[in-house]
Structure 1
Amino acid sequence: MLRAVSITRTSALLLVATLLAGPSLAADSGHADPELRQLLQQAINDNDSFEDRFDAEVWLVDMSQRLKSRMPDTRKRLNLLRQIHFEARRADLWPELVLAVIEVESNFDRFAISSAGAMGLMQVMPFWLDEIGQPGDNLFDIQTNLRMGCTILKYYLDKENGNLTPALARYNGSYGSHRYTTKIYTALDNRWRRY
């Protein structure tokens, strides 16, 4: 189970300021990267799934730094994170769990195709388009893939009465095996969980 963490507004603002400054902050300049500041501002203002602007700012900055090595383009990274957060919350899932699933399933490659034919970030099987899709849906579309992937994962979580381990195994089609769920928990613990 994910634990919520309580941090003070001051410590969170210091974290945000530090992360915004990044390596581009010159020792004597005292200013954050203006492009990053603008992109974060846009992402924070589009905070449909966040309780408030402060929560959006802290989460987006934190997760953006964690995802940077896999997705160097700041604009794309923040857009993806905002969409992940929105779709995860919409499905009543933890956004960090969805990040771990995406890491294991596609390593954040929106055009990934598995040997079984699963597609996109969350590796959704194409037959789901017939089940829950709309005409014209494309599994390489980020929003479509996230919406379907989160909906499917939530369905299995509900079927398993909130027990994440068998729900993840069902999502992956490996029910009865712990190999996949171990990968998800490792990714979650090593990269995405917020303490």
Structure 2
Amino acid sequence: MSADRRRFALGALLALGVPKSWAGAQLEEPLVDAVRSALSAAIAQAAPPKPKFEKTEDRLGYLNWLGEMSERLKKRLPEAQTRIEFLQTVWYESRRAGLETSLVLGLIQVESGFRKYAISTAGARGYMQVMPFWARVIGDGHAGRLFHMQTNLRFGCVILRHYLDLERGDFFLALGRYNGSRGKPDYPNLVWGAQRQWRWPTA
């Protein structure tokens, strides 16, 4: 199968909502102490995912986003409370890491199909398919906690931010590094394609 036909087939599967994990494997690389400490601190900082707004217009913009995204996500996460908590947390953690929320949602769609307990053949876990070694390198060592929603989303967003900084803002290379396929176009193209479904003016 040619590369173009393979990309078309992958896109068709994603459009149909087939619960397939396309995760690769973030590669464990040596981290200098300063980077490890910074990542550990970013993971450890506790904060509730419910946002607070000083301006009414900002709050209204967020609530409009939340309502629209909830509708778009309803088929994938049918339980209303779970869906709202998930979106609140994605919004909070993506903003906290300085990432577009739509990009993070696109990445989750490609990585896990919005399945909390997804496990890839490489052993990556959860919504954002975080490799277990990260729990040892920058967390408390308990890889099982990567199935906890906020923990998984925080790890995923912090790791993607780390890769983006490492690649000096190059999203193509950062996304490839996240997937363990740095330099190859298939994965970044899938994420950007999925991102289009989650775009919104305030996110």
In which range does the TM-score fall when normalised by the shorter chain? 0.7 to 0.9
1:142 to 133, 138, 149: 149
Q: Are 2:104 and 1:78 equivalent residues in the alignment? A: no
Q: Is the 8 A contact 1:111 1:140 kept in 2?
A: yes
The 1:55–1:124 alpha-carbon spacing in structure 2 relative to 1, beyond 3 Å, is same
Structure 1 segments unaligned to the other structure (5+ residues) = 1-44
Deviation at 1:163, TM superposition (A): 1.4
SS at the partner of 1:139? helix
RMSD: 1.9
Number of residue-to-residue matches in the alignment: 150
Q: How has the CA–CA distance of structure 1 residues 50 and 83 changed in structure 2, closer, same or farther, with 3 Å as cutoff? A: farther
- Judge conservation of contact 1:100–1:187 (CA < 8 Å) in 2: yes
Alignment partner of 1:186 out of 181, 193, 199: 193
The 5 Å alignment of 1:51-90 reads 52-90=58-96
Aligned equivalents of 2:52, 2:163: Cα separation in 1: 25
Q: 1:47 aligns with which of 45, 51, 54?
A: 51
Larger Cα-atom Rg? 1
| Match of residue 115 from structure 1 | 121
Is contact 1:84–1:95 with CA below 8 Å preserved after alignment?
yes
Of 139, 163, 183 in structure 2, the residue corresponding to residue 133 of structure 1 is 139
Q: Counterpart amino acid of 1:99?
A: L
Amino acid aligned to 1:91 = A
Equivalents in 2 of 1:50, 1:74: separation in Å? 27
Corresponding residue of 2:130:
124
Which structure ranks higher in relative contact order (CA pairs < 8 Å, sequence separation ≥ 6)?
Answer: 2
The worse-fitting range, judged by mean Cα deviation, of 137-146 and 124-133 is 137-146
- Does the aligned pair in 1 maintain the 2:176–2:184 contact within 8 Å? yes
Write the letter of the residue equivalent to 1:144.
T
CA change 1:139–1:183 in 2 (3 A) is: same
> What one-letter code is carried by the residue in structure 2 that aligns with 1:130?
R
Q: Distance in 2 between matches of 1:50 and 1:76?
A: 26
Q: Distance in 1 between matches of 2:180 and 2:54?
A: 31
Identity of aligned residues (%): 47
AA aligned to 1:153 is: L
Q: Deviations over 1:3-56 (max 9, x none)?
A: xxxxxxxxxxxxxxxxxxxxxxxxxxxxxxxxxxxxxxxxxx932489632122
Residues 49 and 86 in structure 1, CA contact (< 8 A), matched pair in contact too? no
* One-letter amino acid matched to 1:192: W
CA displacement, residues 111-135 of structure 1 (integer Å, 9 cap, x when unaligned): 0000000000000000000111125
TM-score, normalised to structure 1, is 0.72
- In structure 2, distance between residues paired with 1:64 and 1:133: 31
The aligned residue for residue 13 of structure 1 is: none
Query: Aligned equivalents of 1:49 and 1:180: distance in 2?
Result: 35
Q: Assess if the C-alpha contact under 8 Å between 2:125 and 2:146 holds in 1.
A: yes
Alignment correspondent of 2:107: 101
Moved over 6 A (4+): none
TM-score, structure 2 normalization: 0.70
Residue 161 (structure 1) aligns with? 168
Q: Tell me, what secondary structure is at the counterpart of 1:175?
A: coil
